[in-house]
Each structure stands twice: as structure tokens, then as C-alpha cells.
Amino acid sequence: MRIEEKEIEKKIEKEIKEEIEKIEKEIEKEIEEEIEKSSSSNEEEAEILERE
């Protein structure tokens, strides 16, 4: 019985770790997208200011 509990515990820990990694990757992707949006809007502002 004890061995089974340890195996279940390891399985759960592995699943949690995988889920955390998945969430971290999603967050990184969202941050990169926001940075790109910010960069492109900054470039647009710079172009507008240059025209003026």
C-alpha cells in the first residue's frame, strides 16, 4: 500500500510540474506579444513624430 501511495504522489507531482511549465510558457508568450505590441506602437509614434 505504501509503495502505491508514493507512486501516486510522484504522478501527481509530475502532473503539477507539467501544468506549471505549461502555464509559464503561456505567460511568456503573452509577455512577448505585449512587448511586440508595445514596440510596434512605439515605432508608429516615432514615425508620426518624425513627420511632424
Burial zone of 21 (CB within 10 Å; 0-12 exposed, 13-18 middle, 19+ buried): exposed
What cell was used for 16? Answer: 503539477
Distance, in Å, from the CA atom of 31 to the CA atom of 34, rounded to the nearest integer, reads: 5
Residues 19, 35, 20: CA angle, nearest 5 degrees: 10
> In this predicted model, what pLDDT tens digit does every residue of 1-52 receive, in sequence order?
688 999 999 999 999 999 999 999 999 999 999 988 888 777 777 777 777 7
- pLDDT at residue 1, rounded to an integer: 60
- For 52, the 3-state DSSP assignment is coil
- pLDDT at residue 49, rounded to an integer: 78
- pLDDT at residue 4, rounded to an integer: 92
- pLDDT at residue 9, rounded to an integer: 97
